[in-house]
A and B are shown apart, each in its own frame.
Chain A
Amino acid sequence: MKIFFQTKPLILSSIFISLITIVSCSDDPEDPIVENEEEVITTLTYTLTPFKGGSAVVLSYRDLDGDGDGEPTITNGTLSPATTYTGALTLLNETESPAESITEEIEEEDADHQFFFVTTMSDLQIVYADTDSNGNPLGLLTSVTTGEAGSGIIQVILRHKPDKIASGVASGDITSAGGETDIDIEFAVTVE
C-alpha cells in the first residue's frame, strides 16, 4: 500500500479532485419552468339559441385542473318542447390568460375533427349544420329540435382524426368513427 501512495500521487490527486467536484455538485435542481399548456381544453360551452328568437340556453362544462382531483363545474339546462335551436359549441383553454380559443384550432384542422352528439331522449334530434373543408360534417354548429316534455342526457364527444367516411359517421353515428377522444362529457337536460 505504501508504495502505491508514493508512486502514484497523480492518480490519487486526480481521484481526490473528482470526488470533490462530484460531491460539491449535490445541489438543488433549479426551479422548473411551468409549461404553458396550450393544448388543454378546460371549458366547453354549448349555446342553444331558439331559431325563432328568445333567450339562449347555455350548457357548460368547466374543469380548470385537467386530470387533477378537482371536480368539474357543470351547468345543465332546460329546453322548451317542440322547438328548434341553433347549437353553437365554443371551446376554451382557461389555464392561459387571457383564455385561448380552442374553437379556432378545431376550425383550422376541421378535417381532423368531428363532434358527435348522443342523447337518451328518443324524440330529441341533433343534426350537423356545418361542414369541414372536405364537405364532411364537423359539429361546431348544429340544429337541435326538441320533442315532447321529458328529461335525459346529451353527450358531447369530440374525436381527433376519426374516419369520416366510415359508414354512418357523416350522419352522426359514432360506432365506426374510431379516432381518439379529446372530449367526452354529459349534460342533464330537461324539456318542459
Chain B
Amino acid sequence: MPGLLMAQPCQLKVWGRIQDGHSLDPIAFANVYFKEAQQGAVSDANGFFEIPPLCQGSYHVSVSHIGCQTKELYLTVTHDTTLLLQLEHHSQIMDELAIAATAIQEATTQELMLIDAYAISQNTDKNMANMLDNLAGVSTLRNGNNIAKPVVNGLYGNRLILLNNGVAQSGQQWGADHSPEIDPLAADKITVIKGVSALAYQGSNLGSAILINPQKIDSEPHFHGKIRYFFESNGLGNGLNIRVQKHHQKFAWSLVGTAKKKGDSRAAAYYLTNTGAVEGDFSLQMEYTHNTALKSDFFLSSFNAKLGVLRGAHIGNLTDLEEALTRSAPFYTQDQFSYQINAPYQKINHHLLKWHTAYLLDEDHKFDFTYAIQKDLRKEFDVRRGGRSDIPSLNLNQHSNFIEIKYKGYFSNDWEITSGIQLNRTDNFNESGTGILPLIPDYISFETGLFAMATKKTEQFSFELGGRYDYLDQSVATISTGIPKAIKRYYNFAHNIGLAGGGSYAFSNGMDLSYNLGLASRNPGINERYSNGLHQGVSGIEEGDPDLGSEQSLKNTLSWGGKINTKILYEILYFDQAIENYIFLNPQNEFRSTIRGTFPVFKYAQTRARIFGWDFTSTFLFSDSFNASFRASFLKGTDIENNSPLIYLPSNNLLLTFNYQIPKIGNWDQIDLELSNKYVFEQKNILLNQDFVNPPEGYHLMGIKISGERQLDRNRLNMFLRIDNLFNVSYRDYLNRQRYFADDLGINVIVGLSLNF
C-alpha cells in the first residue's frame, strides 16, 4: 500500500459536505480553500464540494460562508479524505438563539441576544455599546459618540451587569457619562441576557446582563493571526487590531492589540469640536492543560483611552444652558477639523488580571476557581481657570479583588446543579490634588454572595430554579459641604435575596415558549446616597440621600418564537418589571443661589415604578439569497406612586433591514449587500417639567453595507464598506446628553479590512 501511495502522491481526493452546526441543513456556496495547495472549491446546493487532486501533506484550510465566522483548520492528508464540516451560522435568528444558549449553559430559559464574531468584525469602528445598539430591546445612553453605555429593556448603569470574561466589570458604573472600559475587538461574542439569569453573577443588578467573552484559542499548532483595519470618514478615524496565537501540546497563548484614533466628528451641518478619541488596548490569554482533569487559564487585559467631550457642552450655569438650547451650532464650534483633544476630556485606564482553574472531579462534577483583580483609573478634565485645565477635576482610583468558587454537577434525570460562593472587595479612592471636593466619596465595599441553581433539560422541556443571597458591608468617608468641612463616616449593611425560576417548552411544530420570573435587589449606588453638589453637565444641584434603601424588582419575561412555512421566523418578548423603592432624581421646587447664579435642585428619592414593554424580531426568507428582517422595541416606564413617567428611558424604535447575498463575482465571493432603515420615535412619555427641554423629534436613519471575501495568496481577505446615516440627516437622540447642545452624527463612510494569516 505505501508503494501505491508513493506512486501517486498528488492524486489524493478530498471531498466533503458543509452543514449548519445547529440545524444540520446543508450550506450552499460555502468556500473551502487549501492554502498550501492554493486549491479550493465552492459547495453545491446540497452542501457537497470536491477539491482538485492534492498531494500528501499538511494543509491549512479555511471554510467561509456569508454570515458565518470563517473556520480555520489544520489537517494532514495521507489518503483520500471525506470531510464533514460544520459552520456556525449567524443570520437566522433562531440559530442565533441556539448558539447563545450553548454558549451560556447557566442560562437555558433566558431570552438571549447575541453579537457574534462575524458581527463584531463588520463593526470594528464602534465601541461596545454602539455595537449592541441594533439589537431589539437594547439602546444606548450617550454623552456624545465616544461615551456610550448600553441600556437593556430600560435599565443601565448600576441596574445592569457587565461581565467581562466572567468577571463583573468594576469601575464607575454610576454615572451616565461613564462608558464601559472594554475593547469589543478582543471579544468573540457579546451576549445580552434579558431575563433574570444574573443570579450566578455578583454585582448589583436588577436582572439583565451583558456577557463579553474573549475568543477561545484555536487548537492550531502554528503561529496564526488576524489583522483588522478600519477607516471612517466622520472624524477621519483609523483603527488597527491584531490578534496572534499559537497552540502547543499543553500550553496555548493568544495576544490581541487594538489602536484607534479619531478626530472631531461631524454632525450633518457642523463639526463637533473636541470630540476626538484615542484608544490603545491589549490582552494576553494563556491556557495550560495540566492533565485531563485540571486546566488553568490566565487573562490579562488593559484598556486605555482618552475621550474628548464636545467643547460647547461645557457650561457654567442655567443661563448658559438656556442659551445653548437656542443656538443652531454649539458655541466654540470650529470650522476646521482637528485631531486635538482639549478640556473637557476623560482619561481612562482599566486593567484586569484573571486566573481561572477548572478541575474535573469526574465526568459529572466540576469545580471552578477564579481570582481576579481589577484596577480602574478615571481622570476627568474640565475647562478651568488659572492654568488648571491640566489638573483633573475628578481623579478616581478603584481597586477590586474578586474570588469565586463554583461547582457544577450533572445528576440523574437530566438535572444539573450549579452553586458557588463569591467574595468581592472594592476600594474606591479619590486621588488628592484636584482642587475640587470629590463628587463621590472614598469607600470600601465588601460583598459576599452565595448562589445555587438547578436546571433540568430534556428535548422538549427545560426548567430552572435558583436563589442567591448577598451581604454587603460598606464603609464610606464623606466630606461635608458645610463650613467648616468635616469628615463624616457612614457604615452600610445590607442583606439581599434573589430568586428566579423559569421554564421553556419546544413544541413539535418548531414553536418555542418560555417564561421567566425573577426577584432581584440592588443596593443604592454610591452617588445616589452621597453625591452632593453641582453637576456641571446638567446644570443642576444633585443631592444624595444616605438613608436610601435597596431596590427590589420583580421581573416577568415571556417569549414566544417560531416559524411560519419555513419562510418566516419570528420571536416576541414581553417583559414587565415592578420595582419597589426605585431610585430616581426628583426635581425639587427649589432654586439655590450660588455665585454662579441660581440652579434647580434635584434630590435622589424612591418610588414604586413599573417598566414594561415588548421586543419583536422577525426574518422573512424570500429566497436563499434574499431576506428581510424587522425589529421593533416598545417600552414604557411609570412612577406609580406619583403617577408620572420615568425619565431617561429609551424611545420606541423600529429597524428594517434587507439582505441580499451573491456567492461569487469575479475574484470575490460571499458578497453580502445590506440596506437598513432605523426609525426612532419621539419620547412622548415624559412631562414638561421633567427636563430642561422637550425630547427631540423622532428620526429616520438609513444605512448600507457591502461586504465580500477573496483569497489573497494563502490568506483570506474580508472587506466591508458601510455607510451610516446615508442621507446626512440632522437629528438628536433623547438618550444622548449631548442633545442639549448639538446634533448627532452626520454621514459616516467606513471601510474595513480583515486578513486571516
**A residues adjacent to B (C-beta < 8 A):** 1, 3-4, 8, 11, 15, 18-19, 22-23, 25-39, 41-42, 44, 61, 63-72, 105, 108-109, 112, 159-161, 163, 178-185
> Quick one: which of A22, A66, A185 contacts B401, CB cutoff 8 A?
A22
List residues of chain B with CB within 8 A of the CB of A61: 595
| 4 shortest interchain CB distances as A-B pairs | A181-B316, A184-B597, A180-B316, A26-B446
With an 8 Å Cβ cutoff, the count of chain B residues facing the other chain is 65
List residues of chain B with CB within 8 A of the CB of A185: 595, 597
Check if A180 sits within 8 Å of B592, measured CB to CB. Answer: no
List residues of chain A with CB within 8 A of the CB of B367: 4
**What are 9 pairs between A and B in contact, CB < 8 Å?**
A1-B365, A4-B361, A15-B369, A29-B444, A29-B475, A32-B478, A109-B385, A180-B316, A181-B317
- What 1/0 flags go to B371-398 for Cβ under 8 Å of A? 1000000000001111110000000000
B747 shortest CB reach to chain A, Å:
28
- Whether B232 is near chain A, meaning CB under 8 Å from some CB there, is no
> Quick one: which of A30, A38, A65, A161 contacts B483, CB cutoff 8 A?
A65
Check if A65 sits within 8 Å of B482, measured CB to CB. Answer: yes
List residues of chain B with CB within 8 A of the CB of A30: 442, 477
User: What is the bound-complex CA distance between A41 and B596, given in angstroms?
Assistant: 9
Check if B592 sits within 8 Å of A69, measured CB to CB. Answer: yes
List residues of chain B with CB within 8 A of the CB of A11: 357, 359, 369
User: What is the bound-complex CA distance between A6 and B603, given in angstroms?
Assistant: 57
- Whether B432 is near chain A, meaning CB under 8 Å from some CB there, is yes
Closest to B361 in A: A4
Check if B596 sits within 8 Å of A181, measured CB to CB. Answer: yes
- Whether B332 is near chain A, meaning CB under 8 Å from some CB there, is yes
Check if B361 sits within 8 Å of A32, measured CB to CB. Answer: no
List residues of chain B with CB within 8 A of the CB of A71: 593
A116 shortest CB reach to chain B, Å:
11
Check if B595 sits within 8 Å of A105, measured CB to CB. Answer: no
Closest to A113 in B: B385
B391 shortest CB reach to chain A, Å:
9
User: What is the bound-complex CA distance between A29 and B479, given in angstroms?
Assistant: 13
Check if A39 sits within 8 Å of B384, measured CB to CB. Answer: yes
Given A32-B479, A65-B481, A179-B320, 10 new contacts (CB under 8 A): A3-B361, A4-B359, A4-B367, A8-B359, A26-B473, A32-B478, A66-B481, A67-B594, A68-B483, A109-B386
Check if B386 sits within 8 Å of A31, measured CB to CB. Answer: no
User: What is the bound-complex CA distance between A161 and B382, given in angstroms?
Assistant: 13
Closest to A159 in B: B316
Chain B interface, >50% SS class: strand
List residues of chain A with CB within 8 A of the CB of B401: 22, 25
Known: A35-B435, A41-B595. A28 touches B317 (CB 8 A): no
> Quick one: which of A35, A41, A182, A183 contacts B437, CB cutoff 8 A?
A35
> Quick one: which of B423, B435, B476 contacts A19, CB cutoff 8 A?
B423
A90 shortest CB reach to chain B, Å:
14
List residues of chain B with CB within 8 A of the CB of A69: 592
Check if B403 sits within 8 Å of A19, measured CB to CB. Answer: yes
A45 shortest CB reach to chain B, Å:
12
- Whether B314 is near chain A, meaning CB under 8 Å from some CB there, is yes
Check if B534 sits within 8 Å of A67, measured CB to CB. Answer: yes
List residues of chain A with CB within 8 A of the CB of B383: 160-161, 180
- What 1/0 flags go to B417-455 for Cβ under 8 Å of A? 000000101010110111111100111101000000000
List residues of chain A with CB within 8 A of the CB of B482: 65, 68, 70
Query: Which parts of B691-742 form the interface with A (CB within 8 Å)?
Result: none
Check if A31 sits within 8 Å of B437, measured CB to CB. Answer: no
List residues of chain B with CB within 8 A of the CB of A25: 401, 425, 444, 446
Check if B320 sits within 8 Å of A67, measured CB to CB. Answer: no
List residues of chain A with CB within 8 A of the CB of B436: 35, 37, 39
B128 shortest CB reach to chain A, Å:
29
User: What is the bound-complex CA distance between A37 and B595, given in angstroms?
Assistant: 15
- Whether B250 is near chain A, meaning CB under 8 Å from some CB there, is no
Q: Which interface residue of B387, B434, B593 has the most chain A CB atoms within 10 A?
A: B593
List residues of chain A with CB within 8 A of the CB of B541: 67
B445 shortest CB reach to chain A, Å:
9
- Whether B298 is near chain A, meaning CB under 8 Å from some CB there, is no
B405 shortest CB reach to chain A, Å:
6
B230 shortest CB reach to chain A, Å:
35
- Whether B600 is near chain A, meaning CB under 8 Å from some CB there, is no
- Whether B244 is near chain A, meaning CB under 8 Å from some CB there, is no
> Quick one: which of A32, A38, A72 contacts B595, CB cutoff 8 A?
A72
Check if A181 sits within 8 Å of B597, measured CB to CB. Answer: yes
List residues of chain A with CB within 8 A of the CB of B478: 32
- What 1/0 flags go to B293-312 for Cβ under 8 Å of A? 00000000000000000000
User: What is the bound-complex CA distance between A71 and B487, given in angstroms?
Assistant: 22
List residues of chain B with CB within 8 A of the CB of A42: 595
Check if B425 sits within 8 Å of A26, measured CB to CB. Answer: yes
B278 shortest CB reach to chain A, Å:
24
Known: A3-B361, A61-B595. A32 touches B477 (CB 8 A): yes
- Whether B315 is near chain A, meaning CB under 8 Å from some CB there, is yes
Check if A29 sits within 8 Å of B443, measured CB to CB. Answer: yes
List residues of chain A with CB within 8 A of the CB of B432: 33, 35
Closest to A179 in B: B331
Known: A32-B441, A181-B597. A38 touches B386 (CB 8 A): yes
B603 shortest CB reach to chain A, Å:
11
> Quick one: which of B403, B427, B599 contacts A29, CB cutoff 8 A?
B427
Check if B592 sits within 8 Å of A183, measured CB to CB. Answer: no
Q: Which interface residue of A29, A42, A109, A112 has the most chain B CB atoms within 10 A?
A: A29
Check if A18 sits within 8 Å of B403, measured CB to CB. Answer: yes
List residues of chain A with CB within 8 A of the CB of B489: 28
Known: A1-B361, A8-B359, A25-B425. A63 touches B386 (CB 8 A): no
Check if B596 sits within 8 Å of A27, measured CB to CB. Answer: no
Check if A67 sits within 8 Å of B359, measured CB to CB. Answer: no
User: What is the bound-complex CA distance between A35 and B433, given in angstroms?
Assistant: 7
A185 shortest CB reach to chain B, Å:
6
Check if B385 sits within 8 Å of A182, measured CB to CB. Answer: yes
Known: A4-B361, A65-B482, A185-B595. A28 touches B475 (CB 8 A): yes
Known: A29-B476, A183-B596. A39 touches B316 (CB 8 A): no
- Whether B537 is near chain A, meaning CB under 8 Å from some CB there, is no
Check if B319 sits within 8 Å of A181, measured CB to CB. Answer: yes
Check if B592 sits within 8 Å of A105, measured CB to CB. Answer: no
Closest to A106 in B: B385
Check if A34 sits within 8 Å of B479, measured CB to CB. Answer: yes
User: What is the bound-complex CA distance between A39 and B423, given in angstroms?
Assistant: 41
User: What is the bound-complex CA distance between A182 and B384, given in angstroms?
Assistant: 10
B323 shortest CB reach to chain A, Å:
8
List residues of chain B with CB within 8 A of the CB of A19: 403, 423
User: What is the bound-complex CA distance between A112 and B385, given in angstroms?
Assistant: 9
> Quick one: which of B319, B384, B423, B479 contacts A22, CB cutoff 8 A?
B423
Closest to B323 in A: A178
Closest to A21 in B: B401
> Quick one: which of B481, B532, B593 contacts A72, CB cutoff 8 A?
B593
B279 shortest CB reach to chain A, Å:
28
> Quick one: which of A29, A63, A182, A183 contacts B593, CB cutoff 8 A?
A63
B477 shortest CB reach to chain A, Å:
5
Query: Which parts of B255-278 form the interface with A (CB within 8 Å)?
Result: none
User: What is the bound-complex CA distance between A11 and B359, given in angstroms?
Assistant: 10
User: What is the bound-complex CA distance between A39 and B482, given in angstroms?
Assistant: 17
Check if A27 sits within 8 Å of B475, measured CB to CB. Answer: yes
Check if A184 sits within 8 Å of B475, measured CB to CB. Answer: no
Check if A29 sits within 8 Å of B331, measured CB to CB. Answer: no
List residues of chain B with CB within 8 A of the CB of A179: 316, 320, 331
- Whether B9 is near chain A, meaning CB under 8 Å from some CB there, is no
Check if B595 sits within 8 Å of A29, measured CB to CB. Answer: no
Closest to B311 in A: A161
List residues of chain B with CB within 8 A of the CB of A181: 315-317, 319-320, 596-597
B168 shortest CB reach to chain A, Å:
15
Check if A70 sits within 8 Å of B435, measured CB to CB. Answer: no
A177 shortest CB reach to chain B, Å:
9
Closest to A69 in B: B592
A83 shortest CB reach to chain B, Å:
28
